[in-house]
Amino acid sequence: MSSRLGPVLVTGGAGFIGCALSQVLAGEAERWVVLDNLHPQVHPVAERPQALHQAAEFVRGDVTVAADLDAVMAEVRPETVIHLAAETGTAQSLDESTRHSLVNVVGTTQVLDALTRIGHVPDHIVLTSSRAVYGEGEWQRPDGTLFRPGLRTHAQLEAGRWDHEDAVAQPHSAGTTVPAPVNVYGATKLAQEHILSAWTGSRDTSLTALRLQNVYGPGQSLSNPYTGIVSLFSQLAMRGESIPLYEDGDITRDFVFIDDVVSAIATAVRNRPEGQRLVDVGSGEPSTIRQLAETIAAFHSAPAPHVTGQFRDGDVRAASSVLDQELVGLGWKPQWSLADGVAALQGWIRDELAAG
């Protein structure tokens, strides 16, 4: 039986997004090969995840190690490379800048050098980038003028000056919003985009970079303290605890359910562009952290969330995106509301904790 996709290599493909993506696409590929180092921050048990599709071939290896990449590239010669491998976490990236840069930046260049060493150019490279590349993006003053506020300083945050003047944050759009990352993580993700754009442009091959908003859902780590605010809030509410809210509780995010993210990536993989494509992946519906916490607390009849005034250096006040018209034109549209996504996640967490 012929496959719609040829050989596919997925770096970091045993993680949250990679496992969910394998359930949708692995059966369509001639081969679906996953390279992952099973980092303990993401994988408490260093073994092939059960959530990985049975057709996936798992190879334990690290994108920062040339020998690991050389072996898998030479054996697979992928037509499509889906580059998921990355260190995440805004606050952690400020404290562990070298680690984030090594994996995100050098890991990306190692992937490209491994392809060069075997003399192979894939048809399509797909990168999961991040909304973090935008930083604060653009804000609008009452008179309608737009400005880019940039980084909120430690002194500003310590003084509790959370917002930027008397202005309103605007949703991000890949076609118009100028990237201006305000933390190390965002800077490394933007570097990935630039590196891959230069390489694929010079090799006359296709590139898709998907700037993901805040992804959540079943399969996300329940123990990683640097990612998964929805999972962390859920566990607190399940225990009958009040959820703590940073700043004044009105930080804005675009929470997008894992199924919608996987659908967007799959749409991009199945529809290879002629050249380079840059798209946003979000729900299109911004929510405050307070709204998220109240939704979760109400589900469990937990105490009302409470504001702590704490903050994280390098965090942005607001992040959301418009629905990407290129993806919409290819037939993609988010299907999950925040309420439905939160409800689905609670059942999964309950089952995981009971089994654990």
Please state, in angstroms and rounded to a whole number, the distance separating the CA atoms of residues 280 and 262: 13
The continuous run of DSSP H or E covering 344 comes out as helix 338-355
Residue in 185, 216, 226, 246 annotated catalytic: 185
The residues, ordered by sequence, that sit 6+ positions from 102 with a Cβ below 8 Å of its Cβ are 64
CA–CA gap between residue 143 and residue 188 (Å, rounded): 35
Annotation marks residue 246 as catalytic:
no
Q: Is residue 215 within 8 Å of residue 256, measured between CB atoms?
A: yes
56: phi > 0 → left, psi -120 to 50 → alpha, else beta; which? beta
DSSP-derived secondary structure for 156-209? HHHTT--S-TT-EE--B-TTTPPP---SHHHHHHHHHHHHHHHHHHHHT-EEEE
Residue 189's alpha-carbon distances to 47, 87, 307, in angstroms, are 27, 10, 31
Best CA proximity match to 237, nearest among 286, 180, 181, 296: 296
DSSP structure string for 103-136: IIIIHHHHHHHHHHHTT---SEEEEEEEGGGGTT
Q: What tokens does 97 get? A: 């800048």
| Other Cβ atoms closer than 10 A to 178 | 10
User: Known catalytic residues?
Assistant: 185
